[in-house]
Structure 1
Amino acid sequence: MDISTLLAQAACKWPNEPALREPSSARTLTFLELDRALDAVGQALDRLQVAPGARVALLADASLDYLLADYGCMANGRVRVPLDPALAADELLAQVRDAGAVLLLFSPAYAALAEDLRMAGIECRPLSSVSEAVPLAARSRPAQSPQALASLNYTGGTTGAPKAVMHRHASLCAVLQNIVMARGASTGDVLLNVRPLWPIAAVAVLAHLLSGGQVVLGGRFDGKGFVAQLGEYQVAFSSLVPTQLLRLLRETGASPVDLPFFKSLDVGAAALASEVLEGAYRLFGERISVLYGMTEAPWSCYLSAAQMATVRRAGESAEGLVGRPVFAAAVRIDRADANGVGEILLGGPQLMSGYWQLEELSARALDNGWLRSGDLGRIRADGQLLVLGRCKDIIRSGGKSVQPSEVEQSLLGHPGVLDAHVFGLPDVEWGEQVCAAVVLDGSRALSAVQLMEHCRAQLSRYKVPRRIYFIDQLPRSHYGKVQKNRLLAALAQDLSS
């Protein structure tokens, strides 16, 4: 199966039903209109002499035009390369050159960035040059080979240099099937998207379309307006990344909302602090679902809203709980210790085929058909996966292992602490020192010694931070992960003292 065939089938099933709606431009496309618009994108790429198999970079915010270019590339045999608009021009240039992209399509908001890239020799054109193309005579799009490359997704993780994840039509179709079966959307259900569509969110949006649902493109996320949008458009499903959910709770509070049509908010709870998850549950009630995956293996586990409710009614903590493997996915724990904790390995057809032009790194990540996630976890007796942190983040101090998440929860339990990140620094005597970067909420004056005493009352002595650094804000990625290289750079002066 391939992306082109799936989109064509959707147009046959629901030709006159609304598929995409963009309130900001008052534009709506039915499934048939969407399919014809994708034909027009392919014809525009032909006129621009962008050959089948060529890479096309996308630099734009979430919009209807973005989706037309994104899906249009894949449906017409080109490779989408979605870029993060928050990157600096030199970082974007490095990715575009690494991908060998023959064309970059940009929206008006990023015209200045595109001009910088054009001056560096990159062919750049407005997104509208393909998204507003008028379809010529109707034609049947050829099906793509399942093994043809469909997407290059650049990901930098939290410390390393950016690298591109390769997804072929076959792996993306497996992802789509997993989402459709896990989410359980019905024909006509509305999904509100307020997330950036890079690197992989556009695929989750496509899965909703392939369920016969309608997607409303709500523009840039606004915490105060999000709940109003849910009601106005009679939304059944939506999804937020951790940074958005935290903003929502800060801007609106956690008072319950009345949303009769709403079924589920998908969140990546493995990256959420427990109090944020609790706040989301108070706000939306039994309508929180949890997904687990990564760009290399999207949507590998899912904890539905009903399953989450069952866990909570049993009085259990849902922190780190991400449910069971979805339809075509598999999970196992490698080198489990006496408590069943080890590295999480992911299997299934949804896995990437490797990293673009990085054979050695690909071989290390894909071990006999299993993806090494780099996450620590264990599988509970009921088959549900519990994510406990990152393998490489484990701190080895004095011959003992310290899980940063445990120390972070202790720090966050202090009423004056707003955010915290625990990490190890080299130490001649101990191997590594347990250190913490802490953001205070400003409600009281706190010293490092006071926070250490707070931790000492709850944790074993070897887990108590030996050094605490105060910082105004932790540098986090869009998905809520602390970017350790930026954190260390921000703390450089304190670390050297």
Structure 2
Amino acid sequence: MNIGALLQRCAQHWPGRPAIVDARDGGVLDFRAFAARVFGLGHALRADGLGDGDRVAILGDNTPAYLLWDYGAMSAGLVRVPLDPALSADEQAAQLIDAQALMLAHGAEYADRARELAARVPGLRLRPLETDAGSRETPAATPAAQAMASLNYTGGSTGTPKAVVITHGSLTSALQNIVLARGQHPGDVMLNMRPLWPIAAIIVLAQLAAGGTVVLAGRFEPTRFLELLAHYRATSTSLVPTHLVRLLKETRPADHDLGALRSMDVGAAAIPPDTFLAAIQAFGPRFGILYGLTEASWSCYQPPQVLADPATRAQAIRSVGRPLFGCEIRIESEGETAPAGTEGEVLIRGAHVAAGYWRQPELTAGVFRDGWFRTGDLGILDASGVLRITGRLKEVIRSGGKSILPDEVERALCSHPAVAEAAAAGLPDPEWGEIVGAAVVLRAGAAATAEELMEHCRRSLSGFKKPRVIRFAPAIPKSHYGKVQRAKVRALLAEPA
């Protein structure tokens, strides 16, 4: 199946049901009107001279116009290239040049940046997101399952942009996984306050594929988020870890009627356990835990009901659930499948897995081997099929021939009462190869010295795991998704004391 066929089917099944609600003005598009607008834009893009496989970049916020371009381009046999608005002009230009993008659709708030990019990227045409291209009843093209649908960039490096190739087949297979996992139904309402590049758009599309309604509410504002959950009687939402932290700091969830809310989906691997337990106390056991990567989105899922039992909750928040229906997971250690309960690299196989990396055949051959995607994540699969992520293979610190996981150093540091957060990384050392360094954020009003924290770690860690360098910082460098940016941590640690 392709994206156009999926939206056409939605329009046939639920023509008059609300599909998209714009929380800014209350505007509503039902499934028939939404699909027709998507297809109208697709036809307009083809009439504008674009053809099969041409790349169309999108730079915008969480609005209906963004989705019209996103789905419109794919339904017309074009390839969407979502840009992260937070990246610098250098980083965005590098991605546009690498993708060989012919067109950039941009929101009005990014008009200046778009003009700057057009001056730097040869042949790039600009179009406003807010465009009325009319309506059509059918898509402009019928791309095959193996046709490219999207190029999703996984990093902002200007030197070596890396784009994941998502086909129509892998995208619709991922949607099937999500629909089965989330348990949303026709009439259910999802509130979205996440940026739509590139992961949130697939969760939104899965909600539509289930016949549900999506409320698009712009940029995240904690109090307004809770007000809208209550106003629209939302049954589900999706958050990144930074949103969760702000909700706990800035709001009182008990002051809002969230009786309809069944699921708040999060990627919990990046959430400290104490924060997660505090969130459950504030919102109740409503959190669905997902595991996926750009190359294999939504591979595992743990539904909210697993968190209902306080006796097993502490263990459950460290797990990411079982593989979804169309996904296989295996753990590999030293080239062999590891027995249950043994740590190793997480490998994923399934129709939802990406086709490879754009114009990087050697990297593709090394990561996608024998039908399996090698994630680079370390994990443990227990005897009941539940997966726990323990770290990143590339983040393992190797000191004196021994391996150290940053997570175990971070746990030791965070057990000190003065420490709010910590991030460990390996630093080059001529004698040991690497030594352990750590960036530390202290709790408000608390005090501790580097020497005190090193001594504290010595009590629970082997000597070679103890951090030798500690730097205090106002915050840990993290991505939008809450993942620690180890390269920036290393740079921070390398600064003179």
Same fold (TM over 0.5): yes
Quote how far apart the aligned CAs of 1:491 are: 4.1
Q: Aligned runs of 1:127-146 on 2, under 5 Å?
A: 127-129=129-131, 132-135=132-135, 138-139=137-138, 141-146=140-145
Aligned pairs (5 A) from 1:368-383: 368-383=370-385
Query: What is aligned with 2:331?
Result: 333
Structure 2, unaligned stretches of length 5 or more? Answer: none
Q: Report matched runs for 1:385-400 at 5 Å.
A: 385-400=387-402
Paired with 2:388 and 2:100, the residues of 1 have a C-alpha distance of 39
Q: Using the alignment, how far apart are the partners of 1:443 and 1:197 within structure 2? A: 37
In the alignment, structure 1 residue 169 sits paired with structure 2 residue 168: yes
Spell out, residue by residue over 1:362-400, the C-alpha distance to the aligned partner (whole angstroms, 9 max, x if none).
Answer: 111101111111111111122100110111111122332
How far, CA to CA, are the matches of 2:209 and 2:264 in structure 1? 19
Alignment-derived partner of residue 113 in structure 2: 113
1:230-245 to structure 2, matched below 5 A, reads 230-245=229-244
Q: CA deviation at 1:344?
A: 0.4
User: Residues 118-141 of structure 1, C-alpha deviation per residue, up to 9 Å, x if partnerless?
Assistant: 222421121123xx21226x4464
Distance 1:240 1:18 in 2: 23
Contact 1:190 1:235 in 2 (8 A): yes
Moved more, 53-62 or 434-443: 434-443
Aligned residues of 1:417 and 1:441 also touching (Cα < 8 A): yes
User: What is aligned with 2:409?
Assistant: 407
Is the aligned partner of 1:192 residue 2:167? no
Distance, in Å, in 2 between the alignment partners of 1:72 and 1:194 is 21
How far apart in 2 are the matches of 1:292 and 1:157?
22
- Map 1:33-112 onto structure 2 (within 5 A): 33-112=33-112
- Cα deviation, 1:204-259, whole Å, max 9, x if unaligned, reads 11000010000000110112222222111100000101121122212226768641
Q: What secondary structure, in the 3-state scheme, does the structure 2 residue paired with 1:438 have?
A: strand
CA contact (8 A) 1:175 1:350 kept: yes
Q: In the alignment, which residue of structure 2 is the partner of 1:147?
A: 146
Q: After the TM superposition, which of the residue ranges 284-293 and 139-148 deviates more from structure 2? A: 139-148
Q: Partner of 2:479 in structure 1?
A: 477
> Residue 160 of structure 1: CA displacement?
9.0
CA RMSD of aligned residues (A): 2.0
CA separation of 1:472 and 1:337: change in aligned 2, threshold 3 A: farther
Give the AA of the match of 2:25.
S
CA distance in 1, matches of 2:383, 2:414: 29
1:70-124 Cα offsets, whole Å, 9 max, x none, are 0111111111100001111111111011101110000011111001012224211
Instruction: Map 1:290-309 onto structure 2 (within 5 A).
Output: 290-309=289-308
* Equivalent of 1:489 in 485, 491, 495: 491
Distance of aligned partners of 1:268 and 1:343 in 2 relative to their CA distance in 1, 3 Å threshold: same
Conserved 8 A contact 2:227-2:256: no
Q: Distance in 2 between matches of 1:296 and 1:208?
A: 21
Aligned length: 491
Paired amino acid for 2:345: E
Question: How far apart, in 2, do the equivalents of 1:99 and 1:34 lie?
Answer: 28
Residues 76 and 315 from structure 1, CA distance in 2 versus in 1: closer, same or farther, beyond 3 angstroms? Answer: closer
Instruction: Give the Cα separation in 1 of the matches to 2:239 and 2:226.
Output: 12
Whole-Å separation in 2 of the counterparts to 1:417 and 1:489: 21
Kept in 1: contact 2:46–2:140 (CA 8 A)? no
- Post-superposition Cα deviations, 1:440-479, rounded to whole Å, max 9, x if no partner, equal 2231221101111222222222222111011222221101
Partner of 1:317: 315
Whichever residue aligns with residue 33 of structure 1, its letter is A
CA distance in 2, matches of 1:141, 1:357: 27
User: Post-superposition shift, 1:308?
Assistant: 2.9
Local SS of the residue matching 2:56: strand
How many angstroms apart in 1 are the aligned matches of 2:253 and 2:259?
17
For the Cα contact (< 8 Å) 1:242–1:480, is it kept in 2?
A: yes
Q: Secondary structure at the match of 1:371?
A: strand
Q: What TM-score do you get using the length of structure 1 for normalisation?
A: 0.95
In structure 1, how many angstroms separate the alpha carbons of the residues matched to 2:375 and 2:201? 22
Q: Paired residue for 1:18?
A: 18
What percentage of residue pairs aligned between the two structures are identical? Answer: 47
The answer (yes or no) to whether the contact 1:158–1:483 under 8 Å persists in 2 is no
Q: Distance in 2 between matches of 1:182 and 1:165?
A: 24
Question: Per the alignment, do residues 74 and 460 of structure 1 end up closer, same or farther by CA in structure 2, a change over 3 Å counting?
Answer: same
Query: Which residue matches 2:221?
Result: 222
Query: Structure 2 vs 1, CA of residues 140 and 73 (structure 1 numbering), >3 Å: closer, same or farther?
Result: closer
Greater shift in the superposed pair: 439-448 or 227-236: 439-448
Indicate yes or no: 2:209 matched with 1:207.
Answer: no
Tell me if structure 2 keeps the 8 A contact 1:256–1:284: no
**Compared with structure 1, are the counterparts of its residues 248 and 272 closer, same or farther at alpha carbon in structure 2 (3 Å cutoff)?**
same
Match of 1:359 in 2: 361
